[in-house]
Amino acid sequence: MPKKLKIALILLLFILLIMSGCGPRTTKPETNEGAAQEEKDKGKKDATSGASMANYTPLEELKDSYDIVIVGAGGAGMSAALEAKAAGMNPVILEKMPVAGGNTSKASSGMNASETKFQKEQGISDRNDLFYEETLKGGHNTNNKDMLRFFVDHSADAIDWLDSIGITLNNITITGGMSEKRTHRPKDGSAVGQYLVTGLLKNVQEQGIPIFVNANVKEITKQDGKANGVKVAFTQHGEKTIAAKSVVITAGGFGANMDIIAQVRPDLEGYVTTNHEGSTGDGISMIEKMGGTTVDMEEIQVHPTVQQENSYLIGEVVRGEGAILINSKGERFINEMAARDSVTAAINKLPEKKAFLVFDSGVRSRATAVEEYVKMGFVKTKDTIEALAGDIGVPADQLHKTLDTWNSAVKNKKDAEFGRKTGMDHDLSAAPYYAIRIGPGIHYTMGGVRINTNTEVLDQNGKPIPGLFAAGEVTGGLHGENRIGGNSVAEIIIFGRQAGIKSSEYVKTAK
């Protein structure tokens, strides 16, 4: 056969293969991966890849009743479900968003815990009493002391529990307001939230716990004063009533509900928010209708380091690993590791109410969350201090002086300017150099429904509402007037587990 004829036949065969569908696809298949990419393209970066790729329970498998209905599929909800399942219960999780995770997905720095096995392995001497005292001080002595005592005393056990189900947090750093390294994060130092959600979701699915998304719970039902189920609206399938022997609300706070924020804190109008769009306070409203009460609703934490254009949190771990804050003159102006409210107040006193986080390649290597900030275009990078100063518009000579003074402070272990004592293990001398422009943003709602250490929701007389439990950011009282960074992740695991345990005990005794 002539050579030209062979080539023509090969080309013809290739064309026929494409036409028959065996060749490369020109359209993207409609899969969960495609949906996740579409969400990403819309700028919704708050779901983890593990959550967005998950195969959630199909609606046709929904039953009319369960032992326990859990409202909200964040860290607290999934922890509650796993403990309920371990107690022999038949729980279900209902999540109003298209994916699991909630605000847990956005957690960055880590999970605080004291007297842990990982601290001991690394020679970190810590005490539960010290954790208690520093958290109480950070909350301006307004924390619910019973809740706080339970919290610190069960923090190490929570780290062990996570490790037992394949979620290992053995890379330890420090956050503002703490004197010891007790902020636990994944081995590679990456953001804790995505790792946590992916690991919990994997365990939930392995345990066969049904988890329904696009399931917007509207009401807690009751009979004879006892919670006995929920009314839930599904995106395309109308409203259903699901019976339960107990109900656990883990629906998060209200940091994305500007109407509520305007009512309780009108001074925060105009602030950006780092919160997941599902954080609208639904759980609080439902519990109030059941007779539950709230506490500390006006206590809303403003995080000092938020990238303003994208409302994206720059985690405290960057400062914990050695970064400093500078003003438009290239000067430090605060102890960067002070409590969040103090750092926020210092930034708000600046004429422009914004500042720069400045750090080096060493910080970048130790705080791997920086890689995400780089990908998102938040980070200015230059090989020299002078070039970085020019890029961010601050005086080069002053920035150089500031870094020299800081590096001397690190060497001598004494910050004569602002008294910083933590996050000083490494100086800032390893090029290239980096800067992120930041300002304050609404981050966390310390207020919420009132519960006891059994996670039972309390009425106006301080008595438990039978069959109704709550955990996580939907609750209030633990943090007082100011939350320490790393404590919210600990809260959702510690009290999420407790809600699963205690709601199961209630079901067993109510039989």
Surface-to-core class of residue 415, CB atoms within 10 Å of its CB (0-12 exposed, 13-18 middle, 19+ buried): buried
Surface-to-core class of residue 163, CB atoms within 10 Å of its CB (0-12 exposed, 13-18 middle, 19+ buried): middle
- What is the C-alpha separation between 240 and 61, in angstroms, rounded? 13
Length of the chain: 511
Q: At what angle do helices 155-164 and 145-153 cross, to 10 degrees?
A: 40
DSSP class of residue 474 equals G
Task: Give kind and range of the element (H or E) at residue 274.
Answer: none
Contact partners, residue 2, CB within 8 Å, separation at least 6: none
Residue tagged active-site, from 340, 366, 437, 497:
340
DSSP of 370-383: HHHHHHTT-EEEES
For 495, other C-beta atoms within 10 Å of its C-beta total: 30
In 159-209, where do the E strands start and end? 171-173, 183-185
Retrieve residue 149's tokens: 């005592």
Active site residue 483: no
Residue 181: phi and psi, rounded to 5, are -75, 110
Task: Give kind and range of the element (H or E) at residue 492.
Answer: helix 487-510
Q: Scanning the structure block, which residue is given the tokens 């102006």? A: 333
**Pairing between β-strand 65-71 and β-strand 183-185 as defined by DSSP bridges:** unpaired
Retrieve residue 175's tokens: 């956050």
CA Rg, the chain, in Å?
25
- What is the C-alpha separation between 189 and 424, in angstroms, rounded? 17
- What is the C-alpha separation between 143 and 296, in angstroms, rounded? 10
Surface-to-core class of residue 36, CB atoms within 10 Å of its CB (0-12 exposed, 13-18 middle, 19+ buried): buried
Annotated catalytic residues are 340
